[in-house]
Structure 1
């Protein structure tokens, strides 16, 4: 089970080489509160449908020497990676190193060294909140904290530190950050990377446009709502722009048809060169790879046009039955634009696709938007 901790850092220091060194209070003992779905997603212990589940972390778990030392030498990352960091992907994700771990009063503290100039610049620019990822196991039952709170689960063992991530907004709030003044912040573990809940009091959330917003922390709630409003306004502007392009495409349709017919005739009249034949073969292989990435079965007898049509038929259905080869090609380009096989875990949203100038592309965009 994967967990995340929010961190508290004192004033950062610069080395003679330009590195940034900080000490982070990373964990504490006590009671943590989660939703039932976080601690018992398969309802094996009858907790999944509970709004709040208390989880106990005692000193034996927080200050276990082997658990603390498991973080030493692990990387600091810029945002949480979608997979655990290991030797095969370390070069892609590491931006610094955890240099040491020690007990600091009731807290477990880390010494962190940031070694990447771009990441250090982001810290200087205001990206200062942190969250650390690790593995842990839970015990279920009835446990009593020192203050008398009854807990339904206990974090039994930290099975290994994996990384500490620099993030834009941590669920623990703006106090969990690299800053010039020291601030106290409680560490909040969770069973998924960067899915944290507020401790010390029940989490209050609102569902806004399908996104759960923690309204118990005013700074986090305000930042999230502003982001949603900005995204809504941007989406509205893009829709208006697409509608304008639809009208333009309708008006310009006959002219474009004439251009297509002319190009077709030029292709028929042209004698392909060896270079053109090589390009055609390359295009066929690229089309096949993109179609396979979208789950389309490809055979050796299919040419590029047949591959494109099979892909568009699979994703557009009846809408594409009367489309011309050119319309099919335009739709295929939209469906496979920069498409690559997704890595396990979270897939980035990427940049919005730019609408092209034919009716098939517009139909593809509309179908994707209302799917």
Structure 2
């Protein structure tokens, strides 16, 4: 299969003889896009209806020894001649110059010197016809794969063999070389649609554009993808920050609610003071002791222990201790000695004023009953 490829010219200068000399990168490794209708026109490999066929040029194809030799001393033409390219039969009619013999590898590219010798072609170049397109032949191996750089391809080339270098108004553009098929029946020579336009996929749609347009689309697509990643990163970070703040606020709210639950109003304080004083009064009525610093439960337990001993509370639940305390309080209430209002009626010998009155009354009755009897 005959291909054409676009290149860029550098180091252009004129000689004393009027020739135009320059250097050009004429081939490179990597993957180039191709139209399915051009790479597989008869659909022998099922690629004709595919909008883009990715053709891989391995180093073994570009820098093969036979390929490197074929870059040297190739005829230059003003437009592709069509057919099978340039040969001895049409050289005199189509040649306008040639490539030089100093073929060198320049990274992923092959660079060669060239000389444009035809005055009319030089005039075309100086008036703006400045693209160069390399025409070459290569075997196409229809086999899927992935390049060492990780790019998928649909087929790859065998060793390339250069045929000619054409001066064109519009080639595939610059140093990024693209494969183009030189159809035999191209009316005016030059490039066909595949050589001048590229098909790119934009949002699922096939769009034909120039190589420069495709580069711009690729750049904008990448920027859009990067912007989407950046927006997602910022959104995720913002969501994480909000979640952290929400957590902090929830914790503060819980702390505030806890403090509110623990806060006592004046009425609650009065009730607790009254209940505390009542408890201590009951406790002292049973076992007079210092209950400062003890909780209510500790006070009840201390009273029961003081009255009944440690065995009374050993292994017992708080409810049991509380019940025993209440029983002691009830018993104490029944004992007049524990009534502060009756304390003044109790003599040191334990008798009460009431008992003395009764005794005197009974004595009086007895005296009256025996008053008529003679005294002893």
Q: Structure 1 residue aligned with 2:131, among 125, 129, 132?
A: 129
| Cα separation, 1, equivalents of 2:31 and 2:62 | 12
Q: Which residue of 2 aligns with 1:331?
A: none
2:117 matched to 1:115? Answer: yes
The alignment of Structure 1 onto Structure 2 pairs a total of residues equal to: 202
- What CA deviation, in whole Å up to 9, does each residue of 1:65-124 have, x standing for no partner? 211211322211111112321111111101001112221122111211111112112111
Contact 1:33/1:54 (CA < 8 Å) preserved in 2?
A: yes
Q: Which residue of 1 aligns with 2:63?
A: 63
| Cα separation, 1, equivalents of 2:87 and 2:199 | 36
Gaps of 5+ in 2: 184-190, 217-376
Runs of 4+ in 1 over 2 A off after TM superposition: 190-204, 212-221
Contact 1:6/1:187 (CA < 8 Å) preserved in 2?
A: yes
2:149 matched to 1:147? Answer: yes
| Cα separation, 2, equivalents of 1:162 and 1:86 | 8
| Cα separation, 1, equivalents of 2:104 and 2:197 | 23
Q: Which residue of 2 aligns with 1:161?
A: 162
**Cα distance, 1:125 vs structure 2:** 1.4
RMSD of equivalent CA atoms: 2.7
Q: Which residue of 2 aligns with 1:190?
A: 180
Q: Which residue of 2 aligns with 1:75?
A: 75
| Cα separation, 2, equivalents of 1:105 and 1:112 | 19
- What CA deviation, in whole Å up to 9, does each residue of 1:293-325 have, x standing for no partner? xxxxxxxxxxxxxxxxxxxxxxxxxxxxxxxxx
Gaps of 5+ in 1: 177-184, 205-211, 222-371
Pick closer, same or farther for the CA change 1:214–1:200 going to 2, 3 Å. Answer: closer
Contact 2:170/2:196 (CA < 8 Å) preserved in 1?
A: no
TM-score (normalizing by structure 1): 0.50
- What CA deviation, in whole Å up to 9, does each residue of 1:109-168 have, x standing for no partner? 12111111121121111111111111111111121112322211011221x211111111
User: Which has the larger helix fraction?
Assistant: 2
| Cα separation, 2, equivalents of 1:69 and 1:35 | 29
Pick closer, same or farther for the CA change 1:13–1:189 going to 2, 3 Å. Answer: same
The structure whose Rg is larger is 2
- What CA deviation, in whole Å up to 9, does each residue of 1:202-225 have, x standing for no partner? 367xxxxxxx9625644999xxxx
Contact 1:71/1:161 (CA < 8 Å) preserved in 2?
A: yes
SS at match of 1:113: strand
Q: Which residue of 1 aligns with 2:50?
A: 50
TM-score (normalizing by structure 2): 0.50
| Cα separation, 2, equivalents of 1:203 and 1:22 | 36
| Cα separation, 2, equivalents of 1:216 and 1:70 | 27
| Cα separation, 2, equivalents of 1:92 and 1:220 | 37
Contact 1:186/1:199 (CA < 8 Å) preserved in 2?
A: no
| Cα separation, 2, equivalents of 1:150 and 1:218 | 22
| Cα separation, 2, equivalents of 1:203 and 1:186 | 19
Q: Which residue of 2 aligns with 1:275?
A: none
